[in-house]
Chains A and B, each alone.
Chain A
C-alpha cells in the first residue's frame, strides 16, 4: 500500500545527514548533555511516582490502546461523524491532503480577517507542516505563546523535545535570549532581568500579554477530537492555550486525522493516561474543551483543518499503523538512553526520540538518509514500550523498519546479493549438495593454504581470512562412516523417516521449491 503519498520532508530537515552522523556533534556538546540528563531524570522520577498512584495502570493502557485502535480502524467513519458534529455546532471543517494545503487554508483565513499576526498554542501538527514559515512568507507574524516555544522562536532555534521543546537550554541561555531578542518583536525584557525561572516566566507573561489582548486570530492544534460530539481538547499548563482559545474572534485548529477519539467517554481514559505519562502530574493545570461555537463565549468563528500529510500511508501499513496511536506524551523520549545522550535535533524531525524513529520513516518513507538511519537510532532496550501509555510496540516496529531499509537496499549491497544467492542454494537440496561438492573440491585443491582475500569481498577480508573449505561435507563423512543409508541419518536426528525419504535423491521429488 505504499502507493499512498508519503509526507514530504520539510525544507528544514531536507538533506539532513544520518542520525548517527548528526548525533556526533550532539554527543560532543557537554552543556546539552548535562541539561538533558538532568531534565530526563527529573521527569522519569515524577512520572514513575504519578503512575504508581494509579491502581490498574495496565488496564488503562489497554483501554487507551483500544480507543485509539477503534478510531484508526474506522477512521473514515469517525472523521465523517466528527465533521457532522462540528458543522452542526457552527464550526467550518476543512480537509488538507498535505502541508501546503493546510498552510494555505490558514493563510487564507488569516488574510480574510485582514490581520498581520496570529497567536499560536504549541502544536506538533503546525510544527510538522511548518506553518509559522508559511505565514511569515505571506507577511503574517505567528507568535508562539508557550514559554518553551517562545524561547525556541526567539532563539531562532528548533524544538528538541515534544513536551519541553527548550529542554536543551538552561536558565542562563534563556535569560540571554530574552534580553537580546524580546524588544525586537514586542515588549522588551526588563533591564534587571535575572536568570531566576520566576523572573524569566514573568518577563514572558508581560511580553505575551499585550499580544493576547490584541490578537484577533488564534491557531492551535488539538490533543483529542471527539467524533461523537465534535469536542476538541487542548491540554496545557500555562494558560497561554486558554488565552488563545478564548480571547480572539477567530480560532483555527489544525488537527492530524489520527487525533480522533470515538466517544466523549474515551476522554476519561485519556485524561488519566496523558498527564501522568507526560509531565508526571496527576493532572495538568489546564484542559480546555470546546464544541464548535458557543454564543457569547469565546471565538465566534471556529475553523477546523483535518490534516492527512502522510497519515493515510501509515494507516495502510498494517503493522506500522499502531504508531498512529501516539498521543505525543513524550514518555518514550524521557526513558530512552539514546535520546538522553543525543537530544532531539539529530532525529531530523519535529518528532524526536523513539516515537520519532518509527513515525518519521513511516510518514516520510525511507528515501532520505536521515529516515533510513532512524530505525537504527535505538539500543532496542524496550524502555519506550514499557513507558508508552497506549502500548505502541516501538522496539518491534524499529526492527521491522530495519528489515525494510535492508530490503530496499537489496541488489545494491554485497550482503543482500549473497543472502539472495544463499536462499536460492538452500532452497533445494540438490543445489545445496552441488554447492557443497564444489566447495569441497575447492578445499581439496587448496590443501591447507590460507585464503587471504576473495573477489567481491575486499572490505570484509581486509581484517579477516576466509576459512579454507573442508575437503569433505558432513553428509559425505556420514555416508562414508555409517554406510550410505540416508534413512539411518534421519533416524539418528529423530526426524520422521517417511517425510524425509527423498533426502537421498531417490524417488520422485515432491517438495516445493524454497519450502
Chain B
C-alpha cells in the first residue's frame, strides 16, 4: 500500500465513530462586528498602525507624491523600486528630488535578482486591504505592489492605502481576499522578541514601514 493509501486508511479507521457529514457545522461564524462609521474605522487604523511603530501620514490624493518623497528622504533612501502598476504620480516628486527610480527589470530584461534587490534602499507600493483593529496592511501582489520579494528585501517600505480600503476587522479582510493570489499580511516593521522578550524592530524584513493614508 502506498503511504497515501495507508494514511487515509488509518484515518478512516480512526474516525469510524464519527456520524456527522463534512460541512454539517454550517457556515463559519464571523464574530467580529463590522464597525459602523467609516471615520471611526480610519481613526482606529491610524492608532493601531502607529502602535506598531510604523510612521503614518494622512493626505489628499493630490498630496501623495509629496508625502512619498518626504518619507523616502526622511529614511535617506537613494534608490527606489517602483512596481510596474504603481500610479506614476506617486513617485514623480521623488524623481524630482533626485532619487533614483528602478523598475523590477534587470539588464537582461528579466526580473531583478535577489542580490540586485539587496542593493536597493526602498520600495513604494499600494495595498489590497487594511485592517483597523490590528493595524495590518494586506498585499495581494497585484501590479501596484509587485512580486513578494520587492516589499521584502529593501530596507524601507512606503505603502499607500486609500481610506476606502480600510476595513474594521480580520474577517472583513479575509472575505475580500482572493486565495489564488499570494498574500502578505504586514503589521508594522519586521520585529523580534526572542532576546529576553525585548522587542527589536528590523530583523530581516524592511526596518522602516511608512503608511500613507489617502482620504
Contact = CB atoms under 8 A, between A and B. Distances in A.
Interface of A: 1, 4, 35, 38-39, 42-43, 53, 55-56, 59-60, 63, 66-67, 69-70, 72-80, 89, 94-97, 101, 145-148, 151, 164, 166, 170-171, 174, 197-198, 200-201, 204-205, 208-209, 212-213, 226, 228-231, 237-240, 242-243, 245-247, 257, 262-269, 271-272, 275, 279, 281-291, 294, 296-298, 306, 308, 312-313, 315-316, 318, 321
B148 A242 contact: yes
A272 B190 contact: no
A75 B15 contact: yes
Nearest to A282: B134
B181 to A, nearest CB: 7
Contacts of B52: 285
Contacts of A284: 187
8 contacts: A42-B197, A77-B22, A238-B190, A275-B134, A283-B134, A285-B205, A297-B182, A318-B17
Most chain-A CB neighbours within 10 Å: which of B20, B30, B170, B175?
B170
Contacts of A275: 134
Given A283-B134, A283-B135, A271 B141 contact: no
Contact of B189 (A38, A263, A285, A318): A285
A297 B147 contact: yes
A318 B19 CA distance: 13
A145 to B, nearest CB: 8
B167 to A, nearest CB: 11
Given A75-B15, A282-B48, A164 B193 contact: yes
B96 to A, nearest CB: 31
B interface, over-half SS:
loop
Contact of B182 (A69, A286, A290): A290
A286 B14 contact: no
Interface stretch (B4-12, B58-66, B68-76): B4-12
B2 A298 contact: no
A233 to B, nearest CB: 9
Nearest to A290: B182
A14 B38 CA distance: 58
Contacts, number: 256
B191 A237 contact: yes
A246 B8 contact: no
Nearest to A264: B179
Interface residues of B, number: 77
Nearest to A101: B3
A272 B149 CA distance: 26
A162 B168 CA distance: 31
Contacts of B8: 76, 79-80
B88 interface: no
B27 to A, nearest CB: 8
B28 A67 contact: yes
B180 A297 contact: no
Contacts of B179: 226, 228-231, 264, 289, 291
A344 to B, nearest CB: 15
B81 interface: no
Interface in B11-53: 11-15, 17-18, 20-23, 25, 27-33, 48, 51-52
Interface string B158-191: 0000000000011101110101111111111111
Contact of A212 (B135, B169, B204): B204
Interface string B177-215: 101111111111111111111101011111000000000
